[in-house]
Amino acid sequence: MHVSGDCSIFIAVHSGCILAKEWLLVTDMGASWTQSWKEEFKVHKLHLLTSKPELLLQPRWDIPPLLWLLYRFFMLVYTFSWFIYTALLFNTPKFLIFLSHISYCLMAIYYLVSLCNLAWAFLEIRCCSHRVKRGVSSECESLLSLPVSLTAALCLQWFLHSVMGCCSFAVSFLYWTIIHPSDQDSFTAFNINIHVINSIQIAVDLLLSSTPVHLTHFFYAVLAGALYVIFAVVYWLMGGTNMYGEPYIYSILDFSGSPLVATLCILGVCLLCLPSCHFVLWNLQMLREWMVSREESRRIALRRDVWWRVKVSGGMTFDLVPSLDPAASVFETSRRTAMLEDQQSQSLSLV
């Protein structure tokens, strides 16, 4: 009985330590969430320039570069194949008037741009590393430099990520809350892929990649929503019809029959639904960073310096990789980007 009592005490103490540790992790996560929330509402976070462009290219976890490239390629093939199937299924250009199909098209474009940017960066770094090893060039001793054109392409990639991620969540939510109840044949492989798997793709991509999400970027999704509303109004004024010959794209956008309902739906989507979906994206990013910060996950989290200098460029061994400042970038072009960010922040603050 004495031994059993000691075991019970040990188990109770051990369980208490585990609970205390988990409570500290949750408390730290809450403090980090609050601090990140306060830092989001700054003017310089509205633009698409970043001082660390590698965040738009690399995974957040220690995934081999070739495997990460294959993942990007697979997602492009998968999404593009479903988009082609959608076009063949409807067999009319009118399929592009629907927001579901437009957002899926944006997703395919995003995967194409992200794959091209990743392959471009790999080739640039590999070629530079090869020139240095042969002694042909001494301009890129650090082996890590990106052309300005690639930096601009990364801005496009970040913009597409913000818009299509937010729109995909909004499409899934609006479809299953408004359109699905009146559609008895909605449980098909096509609808599940367009209105469920699309959001899963966004969540998986965000959790695997290092792509940052800024709350102020909801502006781009709202702008895209406003452009779609303008398109819907112009399409209605020109006498356009949907697949069934009805004078609207969606029944909730019947400007001639129910203008008040259409207006309220537009305001609700642009001012409530899209910002809320972007807020979900931001919280997924916070969840990813919290997972990385856990002690059990640190060993599989990505070290940017090792991933780029050793695994991508092949220019150094693991032991020779210098430690990298967490606030610094592995790319030389980031210095110019940082200067541009400072100049923009100063000019905006003066205004």
* Alpha helices (runs of H) in 175-300, residue ranges in sequence order: 189-192, 198-208, 218-237, 259-268, 274-293
What is the pLDDT, as a whole number, of residue 52?
A: 86
Query: For residue 12, is it within any domain?
Result: no
CB proximity list for 251: less than 8 A, separation 6 or greater:
none
- H/E stretch holding 27: helix 2-40
Query: For residue 31, is it within any domain?
Result: no
What is the pLDDT, as a whole number, of residue 310?
A: 77
CA-to-CA distance for 139 and 317, rounded, in angstroms?
21
Domain span holding position 312: 43-350
Query: For residue 275, is it within any domain?
Result: yes
Prediction pTM value = 0.83
* 310 close to 317: Cβ distance less than 8 angstroms: yes
**How does pLDDT run across 38-87, given as a tens digit for each residue?**
777 777 777 888 888 999 999 999 899 999 999 999 999 999 999 999 99
What is the pLDDT, as a whole number, of residue 288?
A: 93
pLDDT band at 263 (very low <50, low <70, confident <90, very high): very high
| For the chain, percent of residues with pLDDT exceeding 70 | 74
Residue 15 has pLDDT above 80, yes or no: no
Q: Which amino acid does the sequence have at 140? A: C
Quick one: average pLDDT of 79-96? 94
Lowest model confidence (mean pLDDT) among 31-35, 211-215, 324-328: 324-328
3-state secondary structure of 167: helix
* 115 close to 76: Cβ distance less than 8 angstroms: yes
Of the candidates 30, 59, 39, 53, the residue with the CA atom closest to the CA atom of residue 210: 59
* 200 close to 206: Cβ distance less than 8 angstroms: no
Q: Which residue has the tokens 């729109």?
A: 167
Counts for the chain of helices (H) and strands (E), in that order: 11, 0
Instruction: Look at 317 and 196; give whichever has higher pLDDT.
Output: 196
What is the pLDDT, as a whole number, of residue 348?
A: 41
Lowest model confidence (mean pLDDT) among 103-112, 154-163, 215-224, 310-319: 310-319
What is the pLDDT, as a whole number, of residue 14?
A: 47
Into how many domains does the chain fold?
Answer: 1
Quick one: average pLDDT of 184-204? 88
Quick one: average pLDDT of 121-150? 72
| For the chain, percent of residues with pLDDT exceeding 90 | 49
Instruction: Look at 296 and 25; give whichever has higher pLDDT.
Output: 296
Query: For residue 30, is it within any domain?
Result: no
What is the pLDDT, as a whole number, of residue 156?
A: 96
Residue 160 has pLDDT above 70, yes or no: yes
Query: For residue 3, is it within any domain?
Result: no
Residue 301 has pLDDT above 80, yes or no: no
Query: For residue 4, is it within any domain?
Result: no
pLDDT band at 115 (very low <50, low <70, confident <90, very high): very high
CA-to-CA distance for 342 and 351, rounded, in angstroms?
14
Quick one: average pLDDT of 255-268? 92
Residue 340 has pLDDT above 80, yes or no: no
Instruction: Look at 5 and 245; give whichever has higher pLDDT.
Output: 245
Count CA atoms within 13 Å of residue 132 on its CB side: 18
Query: For residue 14, is it within any domain?
Result: no
pLDDT band at 19 (very low <50, low <70, confident <90, very high): very low
Chain mean pLDDT for the chain: 81
Query: For residue 19, is it within any domain?
Result: no
